[in-house]
């Protein structure tokens, strides 16, 4: 298994999600508070750091449950080849010369465990 690398801007999010996962089930007020903090931090990162929404989605999906194999596989795909494909698509959407010339098909890996097929 290849080691995942996380950007520096995601350190605070990682901490907030860890705190959220460690809460007791009956502590709903604290859970709501952490969800509000996470939403504010995500908004701040997208606005200030200019992070793509796709990258934010994949990283927060992994932080929600790090044991989830499909989240790890998709985040690894993003780090390996997805970011370049997303940048090409985004350039076309924002205003490229010929949109049909190099519009790539984003092929995210499909993960199916034996448990979900039952």
Cα–Cα distance, 24 to 31 (Å, whole number): 9
Q: Is residue 105 part of a domain?
A: no
Q: Is residue 24 part of a domain?
A: yes
Q: Is residue 106 part of a domain?
A: no
Per-residue pLDDT of the chain (118 residues; tens, 9 = 90+): 567 778 888 999 999 999 999 999 899 999 999 999 999 999 999 888 888 788 888 889 999 888 888 888 888 888 777 777 777 776 776 665 444 444 444 455 555 555 444 4
Q: Is residue 117 part of a domain?
A: no
Angle, in degrees to the nearest 10, between helices 53-64 and 83-95:
140
Please count the residues of the chain: 118
Cα–Cα distance, 13 to 18 (Å, whole number): 8
CB neighbourhood size of 58 (10 A): 21
Number of domains in the chain: 1
Q: 0.75 cut: is pTM over it? A: no
Asked whether 42 and 71 are in contact (CB, 8 A), the reply is: no
């Amino acid at each position: 298994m290849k080691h995942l690398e996380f950007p520096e801007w995601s350190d605070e999010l990682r901490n907030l999600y860890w705190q959220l996962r460690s809460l007791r089930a009956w502590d709903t007020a604290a859970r709501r508070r952490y969800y509000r903090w996470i939403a504010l931090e995500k908004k701040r990162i997208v606005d200030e750091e200019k992070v793509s929404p796709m990258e934010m989605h994949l990283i927060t999906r992994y932080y929600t449950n790090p044991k989830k194999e499909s989240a790890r596989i998709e985040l690894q795909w993003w780090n390996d080849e997805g970011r370049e494909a997303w940048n090409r698509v985004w350039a076309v959407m924002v205003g490229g010369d010929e949109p049909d010339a190099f519009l790539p098909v984003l092929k995210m890996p499909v993960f199916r465990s034996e448990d979900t097929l039952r």
